[in-house]
Copies of this chain bind each other. A is one copy, B any other.
Amino acid sequence: MTDKSPLNSHSMPATIRDVAKRANVGIGTVSRVLNHNPSVSEDTRQRVLAAIAELDYRPNPIARQLSTGRTHTIGVILPYLTMPSYVERLRGVQHALLDTEYDLILFSAGTPAQRDTYFEDLSRTPRVDGILVISLPPTDRQARQFAASRVPTVLVDAYHPDLCCVVVDDIQGGSMVTQYLIDLGHRKIAFLGDFLETPFYPSIRYRFDGYRRTLEKAGIPFQSEYLVEGDNDRSTARQLARQLLTLPDPPTAIFAGCDTQAIGVLDTAREMGLRIPTDLSVIGYDGIRDAEYLNLTTVEQHLFTSGVEGVKLLLELLAKTTSAPCQKYIPIELTMRGTAAPPIHRI
* Residues on A facing B (Cβ under 8 Å): 10, 13, 56, 58, 60-63, 65-66, 71, 73, 80-82, 87, 90-91, 94-95, 98, 103-108, 110, 121, 124-127, 148, 150, 263, 290, 293-294
Are A98 and B110 in contact, with the CB atoms below 8 A? Answer: yes
8 tightest A-B contacts by CB? A106-B106, A62-B65, A62-B66, A105-B105, A66-B66, A104-B106, A81-B91, A61-B127
Which residues does chain B contribute within 8 Å of A104, judged by CB atoms? 105-108
Which residues does chain B contribute within 8 Å of A98, judged by CB atoms? 110
Are A63 and B66 in contact, with the CB atoms below 8 A? Answer: yes
Which residues does chain B contribute within 8 Å of A94, judged by CB atoms? 80-81, 106, 108
Are B62 and A121 in contact, with the CB atoms below 8 A? Answer: no
Q: How far is the CB of A59 from chain B (nearest CB, A)?
A: 8
A198 to B169, CA, bound (A): 45
In the assembled complex, 22 residue pairs joining A and B whose CB atoms fall closer than 8 Å, in A order, are A10-B148, A13-B125, A13-B126, A56-B124, A60-B66, A60-B125, A60-B126, A61-B125, A62-B62, A62-B126, A81-B90, A81-B91, A82-B91, A94-B106, A103-B107, A104-B105, A104-B106, A104-B107, A105-B105, A105-B106, A290-B290, A293-B293
A61 to B128, CA, bound (A): 10
Point out the residue from B58, B66, B87 that lies within 8 Å of A87, measured CB to CB.
Answer: B87
Q: How far is the CB of A240 from chain B (nearest CB, A)?
A: 18
A124 to B60, CA, bound (A): 9
Which residues does chain B contribute within 8 Å of A58, judged by CB atoms? 121, 124-125
A322 to B182, CA, bound (A): 67
A127 to B103, CA, bound (A): 11
For A60, give the chain B residue with the smallest CB separation. B126
Are A124 and B13 in contact, with the CB atoms below 8 A? Answer: yes
User: Besides A60-B125, A104-B107, A105-B105, 9 other CB < 8 A contacts?
Assistant: A58-B121, A58-B124, A61-B126, A62-B71, A73-B105, A94-B108, A98-B110, A103-B105, A104-B108
